[in-house]
Amino acid sequence: MPTLKKKTNFLDSPEAAEAKAALRLMASDDAYNTRSSYIANGTNYPDNLIPFVDKHMNYLNTHPSIDHRQYLSNLRLMMRIR
């Protein structure tokens, strides 16, 4: 009888470490709009603001078919302050 192999969690992968480092670099750079945004989850975020890095790491974790490098490239283009 075949068994299903559990897919590794994105947050535990080397790709996640690479993505998190890139997101933190963007957050520390004033050339990008990386302000916290509203979230309705008041239990995890009491002030109802989710940090930029957490928001995008959660998105990458919940959408495993997305290429994280392409996602970060597009994010850099969209968040750049002109």
What is the residue extent of each domain of the chain? 23-79
**Burial of 6 per CB tally in 10 Å (0-12, 13-18, 19+):** exposed
Quote the pLDDT of residue 11.
86
Query: Is residue 44 helix, strand or coil?
Result: coil
Quote the pLDDT of residue 8.
62
Q: Is the pLDDT of residue 3 over 60?
A: no
* pLDDT per residue as tens digits for the range 21-77: 999 999 999 999 999 999 998 899 999 999 999 999 999 999 988 999 999 999 999
Amino acid at 52: F
User: Which pTM value belongs to this model?
Assistant: 0.84
